[in-house]
Amino acid sequence: MKTINPATGKTISEYEETPFSEIETIIERANSAQRSWKEESFESRATYLKKIAELLKDRKQALAELMAEEMGKPLSQGVGEAEKCAWVCEYYAEHAEKFLSEESVETDATKSYVAFNPLGVVLAIMPWNFPFWQLFRFAAPALMAGNGALLKHSANTTGSALMIEEIIHQAGIPKDLFRTIIVDNEHMKPVIQHNGIAAVTLTGSTRAGKIVASQAGESLKKSVLELGGSDPYIVLKDADIQKAAETCVTSRLINSGQSCIAAKRFIVEEPVYDEFLEAVKEEMSKKTVGDPFDDQTEVGPMARVDLRDELHDQVQRSINAGAKPVLGCEKPTGDGAYYPVSILADVTPGMPAFDEELFGPVAAVIKASDEREAVTLANNSEYGLGAAIFSGDVEKAENLAANYLEAGCCFVNSFVKSDPRVPFGGIKNSGYGRELGLYGIREFVNTKTVWVD
């Protein structure tokens, strides 16, 4: 299994796959460690999580360099990712005990309440695009709840996976409680279905989610899935167009456009369509594409050449179906998995740019005749992860976001983001279950009724 620098195409490292016999031993030891870990107090567990946070902050530059090398993330964004991981560790260190405290329920019993107990060892199958954040937003609440964890990361971020394990162990977490395994996706079924795995969480594609959910379901294991997204950003005619354009472009190009909750479809009311399109073109044209190790770079290479080529195919098929190329849309020659910042205008349902997830720096701009059609177009998707709406009438926009947009995370006059304090996740083909906040830490616990006569 190889990791390849997407900026140069050169091999960074090669790794041997972990044999299944070794994985079985790892799972057995993880369960033994978890049985001891669950007896630790919340205060004790919090001490370890705070130490992890310190190490993440101390090493943030080195971690950013590792992400830049393995998957092309610009350095400043990698530093921000490491800092956010520290935040989620600190957040759950502070709040986990309150979130999982017993809840009294009035019944005809002498005493009745709900208790929250850890499930055991949870398998985390993680993607390459946010190699540290995706893991820590699961691991921080899972560990604080008293669970153990097994990490299977994407092949091209194996170095990040091993570094995560090193940091967690250096913080004092028992070594058997958290382990990284190196396994090809095709060989994961026996791991998922192993009796020592209590539950599974996956962040990845919808296709991967369906496979993992099916395999976990065969063994009646709890699963949480955070999958793809084609987030709609509605721009109403009363919006601040310049601010909306700046926010939409920022969201579209986060992580070089490789984010499940990046803005994907800009749905604009007809009276301001041309103005918005011009503003978006101006903002996107300013962005610097280049070496992720260059501090001036805002958009790095895509993570792999095959992903770049798949994106370009979607762009070309959309153009062939009638979309208008406004910016970029040409595949570069030369080394690296680079793709230009691009805009497709006049996108309509039936085009790949509307129906599929564009996982790269390409914006699809869509015209809506009015507010009602804008919402209809936004919801006309197999995905339902995030959505945003821009309007000068905040009360109206809030009502649309809260009651009419079909997504797990809806933002008004801002771009969609994950935050440790609020739940995160999707509906439809964007998955199920929630991470973060109160609801995230309660995903991998036994919500137990206790009744005393």
Out of 260, 329, 409, 410, the active site residue is: 260
Q: 3-class DSSP state for residue 183?
A: coil
- HSE-up (13 A, CA, CB side) for residue 360: 31
Let me know if 270 is a catalytic residue.
Answer: no
- Collapsed DSSP state (helix, strand, coil) of residue 247: helix
Token readout for 101 is 């405290």
Catalytic residue, chosen from 226, 356, 357, 371, is: 226
What is the rounded CA–CA span in Å between residue 229 and residue 252?
A: 12
DSSP state of 109: S
* Contact between residue 287 and residue 363 where contact means Cβ atoms under 8 Å apart: no
The H-or-E segment that residue 206 falls in is helix 206-218
Contact call for residues 91 and 140 (beta carbons, < 8 A):
yes
409 is catalytic: no
Q: Which two tokens stand for residue 35?
A: 């049985």
Torsions phi, psi of 107, nearest 5? -140, -170
Could you list the beta-strand ranges (E) of 182-284. Answer: 199-203, 222-226, 231-235, 263-269
Measuring CA to CA, which residue among 177, 155, 179 is closest to residue 166? 179
Q: Which of 364, 353, 361 is nearest to 287 (CA)?
A: 361
> Which residues are known catalytic residues?
226, 260
